Amino acid sequence: MSVTSRARPARIVDLSKEIAYNCNDPFFMRVKIKHHKHWKARWLVRALGLPFRLFPKSFAGWADDTITQMGVHSTTHIDAPWHYGPELLDGGAAAAIDQMPLNLCFGPGVKFDMRHKADGEEITADDMAASLQESGATLEPGVIALIQTGRDAFQGSKDYWKKGAGMSAPATEWLIDRGVTVMGIDQWGWDLPFHHQIRKSKEANDSSIFWQGHLVGRRKPYWQMEQLRGLDQLPSHGFDVAVFPLRLKGASAAPARVVGFLY
């Protein structure tokens, strides 16, 4: 069924963070926005040659805003394969975010409830299979998978980037092998929080542990959303998801407005 022939959604759910300065984020992830007041534009128009006496009486000037600092991973965003490495392990080109096919940006959603997973605990392929069986949903090419950990409750706090479980490499590959190439999570990152990854790598003396979920994308390219919110407003399936990243040429990721459509 085409999008144009569908019934209009009964409700649209915003799954994105607002873009705003947050002093609790790590310094390399902070957003800074400068808001310019209306009256400043009046002087710009005057400098361009329009006398004040000819200004429309209701013209207070236009407001304007400048983003002075914002990394592409600083808010709700989607990663491209280029983020995971400069090329695929088979030597193929790793796509940048502006190369994401638009047909991947809209599709049926399936939610996996992983709220029972503790901080620092990996999400396994068995966890994913059990959640899918319990929900009764099915996976097929074009499905957008959303991983609910409940850690969006910490967004805006200094602990957000330290909280969460993490998608293991086998769990990530389990999705890809079932036709899912767009997926997302409501915690700060796809993998375990950094301090847990580092600790586990040292304890096991194992170089395969760090960033394992992301690095699947060097073998099997996929597109991954992070810092979603509001997944508790969605059922396990029977909804659509739209995720359209900014068209940033050659970038590793881009902020995205992610929304769910309930019918």
For the chain, domains (ranges, CATH) are 9-23+72-262 (3.50.30.50), 32-69 (no CATH)
* CB environment 84-116: b (16+ within 10 A), e (fewer): beeebeeeeebbbbeebeeebbbbbbbbbbbee
* pLDDT attached to residue 83: 98
Q: Tens place of pLDDT for every residue, the chain, 263 residues?
A: 444 556 799 999 999 999 998 888 888 889 999 999 999 999 999 999 999 999 999 999 999 999 999 999 999 999 999 999 999 999 999 999 999 999 999 999 999 999 999 999 999 999 999 999 999 999 999 999 999 999 999 999 999 999 999 999 999 999 999 999 999 999 999 999 999 999 999 999 999 999 999 999 999 999 999 999 999 999 999 999 999 999 999 999 999 999 999 99
Among the listed residues 19, 26, 151, the one whose alpha carbon sits nearest the alpha carbon of residue 76: 19
Q: Which single residue is written with the structure tokens 């998978």?
A: 145
The C-alpha atoms of residue 25 and residue 73 are separated, in whole angstroms, by: 12
* Backbone φ, ψ for residue 36 (5° rounding): -95, 130
How many other CB atoms sit within 10 Å of the CB of residue 64? 13
* pLDDT attached to residue 44: 95
* pLDDT attached to residue 6: 63
Q: Alpha helices, DSSP H only, in 26-84?
A: 38-47, 81-84
pTM of the model: 0.93
Among the listed residues 144, 166, 149, 163, the one whose alpha carbon sits nearest the alpha carbon of residue 113: 149
Instruction: Copy the structure tokens of residue 82.
Output: 């280029």
The C-alpha atoms of residue 137 and residue 110 are separated, in whole angstroms, by: 7
C-alpha neighbours within 13 Å on the C-beta side of residue 223: 28
